[in-house]
Amino acid sequence: MTTSTGTDLYDATVAERTRMAALLDGLAPEQWAADSLCAGWRVREVVAHLNMTDTQTQEQFGAALAAAGGDVNIAVDRTARADAARYADAELLAIQKARVASRWTPGPGALQGALAHEVIHGLDITVPLGLPGPAPEVLAATVAGSTPEGLAFFGVDLAGLRLTADDSDLVLGDGPTDVPLPTLTVVLIATGRHPVPPRTVVG
């Protein structure tokens, strides 16, 4: 894949943030209020969540995590909802634009994770709104090399399956049932946003 080195991954992350900022800049108020692929979140909450890397300090999120009894999902949900209520659409957009060049990663050196964070949550916005997503090779780079443990984080089990993208070199799973799909669909499956195909031979 072209987005495989650290520099490539960072550049792809900046490009994706830039692309999403431009798309968000063109949204109508009803689109900001539309449902996203994240259950219970509108587009506004998804953008607020993406912006959390700039709106929340580690100490603030630590306090939110403690208040949630250590449950990361609850803490993230509460934070996104609070920021969606705190900021107007234009303010959320301004924060998104300001963080385009951020060096944030979800862990030391986790450049793929940073790209995945932007791309996957970007899809949470663009797919339901019918807006264009990233190029197949960028989509592929977000989940390339995913392990069964990593997929399980999203509640996904590909046992018995081999998902082969028909528009990139992405392959996930090593089962006997080969399922050719667009890269977008493979990524949505791998991140729990699309049903896993049946474990039968696809004709």
What is the number of domains present in the chain?
1
User: What tens digit of pLDDT does each residue of 24-80 get?
Assistant: 999 999 999 999 999 999 999 999 999 998 998 889 999 999 999 999 999 999 999
Q: Which of 2, 6, 23, 18 is nearest to 113 (CA)?
A: 6
What is the per-residue pLDDT across 131-148, written as a single tens digit (0 to 9) for each? 999 999 999 999 999 999
Closest CA to 48 of 15, 94, 16, 11: 94
The pTM (predicted TM-score) of the whole model is 0.92
Q: What is the SS3 assignment for 37? A: coil
Please report the pLDDT score of residue 2 as a whole number: 47
**Does residue 108 belong to any structural domain of this protein?**
yes
Residue 90 in any domain: the answer is yes
Give just the sign of the alpha carbon dihedral 114, 39, 183, 178.
positive
Q: Which helix (H) or strand (E) holds 178?
A: strand 177-181
7-12 long-range CB contacts below 8 Å, 24 or more apart?
8/141, 9/111, 9/112, 9/114, 9/115, 9/141, 10/103, 10/111, 10/114, 12/115, 12/138, 12/141
Q: Is residue 203 part of a domain?
A: no
Dump pLDDT digits (tens) for 107-122: 888 999 999 999 999 9
- Is residue 57, in this structure, part of any structural domain at all? yes
Whether residue 22 lies inside any domain: the answer is yes
Indicate whether 198 belongs to any domain. no
Asked whether residue 197 is assigned to any structural domain, the reply reads: no
**What was the pLDDT predicted at 200?**
67
| Residue 117 domain-assigned (yes or no) | yes
Query: What domain range is 107 assigned to?
Result: 6-191
Q: Which residue has the tokens 């190029």?
A: 135
